Amino acid sequence: MHGMYLTRREFWTAIHGMVLGAAFLILFTGVLAGLWMLKGNRLTEAGARMCACCTAIGAWGMALLAWAAVFVGTYMIYPWYRGGPPGTYPKALLLANPRTAQWHEFGMEWKEHIAWLAPILATAVAYSITRLGSGVTNHPKIRRALMMLLTVSFFCAAVAGLFGAMINKAAPIR
């Protein structure tokens, strides 16, 4: 197909947001449901073991996706965003127009930092579920703590994803 060409930069931007970021956000629902299911004696022993195993796999998936997303974002895409021939790179284009400057000054400034909270929190959740296994059912306080951390991790990734998509719409990386 001749009309569906992506530059190398566009390709990696799509991998960063639409593959790594989107998969992270989708996995969140499954892991949260898994943690919710691991409550008290809602499940049989074998069911709890299976649920804990699937939840741990999902949580490690989230952690790996988040790490990959922040490293690709910080060390590949961000340099393309903030540098290049004068007046041609996305950051310069956004700042040159008062109507778009806030996309950088608020959106990008928040996104580039808050995104890094997501993998740190997701890793702690994944480790904790792996460590306790089906024993999570015996520790309601830990289970609640993990659900909170997971939700904050999701929030951070969602902020980063939303602003990433909007900024790339206002000043695409090419």
Partner 1 sequence: MNESNQTPSSADSATATGPVWAAILAAAFGCAVLGVLTFFIEISVRMAKLMTFIKPAGNLSGVTTLTMLVWIISWILLHRCWKTRSTKLGGLVLSMSLLLILIGVLGTFPPFIDWLGRK
Site for partner 1 contains 83 (CB under 8 A): yes
**Residue 48, both tokens:** 């709890």
131 belongs to the binding site for partner 1 (CB under 8 A): yes
Neighbour-count burial for 76-108, b at 16+ CB within 10 Å, e otherwise: ebbebbeeeeeeebbbbbbeeeeebeebbeebb
- DSSP annotation of 4 reads -
Footprint of partner 1 on 97-126 (CB under 8 A): 105-106, 109-110, 112-114, 116-117, 120-121, 123-124
**Cα 26 versus chain centre, distance:** 10
36: its two tokens: 């919710």
Identity of the amino acid at 120: I
Tell me: does residue 39 bind partner 1 (CB under 8 A): no
Q: Are 12 and 77 in contact (CB under 8 A)?
A: yes
Residues 62-81 that bind partner 1 (CB under 8 A): 70, 74-75, 78-79
Cα 67 to Cα 61: distance, rounded to the nearest angstrom: 10
Picking from 90, 84, 109, the residue whose alpha carbon sits closest to that of residue 163 is: 109
Comparing CB distances to partner 1, the nearer of 31 and 156 is 156
Site membership for partner 1, residue 174 (CB under 8 A): no
- In whole angstroms, how close is the CB of 68 to partner 1 at the nearest point? 14
Binding of residue 8 to partner 1 (CB under 8 A): no
Comparison of 4 and 85: residue with beta carbon closer to partner 1:
85
Chain residues that interact with partner 1, rule: CB under 8 A: 70, 74-75, 78-79, 82-83, 105-106, 109-110, 112-114, 116-117, 120-121, 123-124, 127-128, 131-132, 135, 139, 141-142, 144-146, 148-149, 152, 156
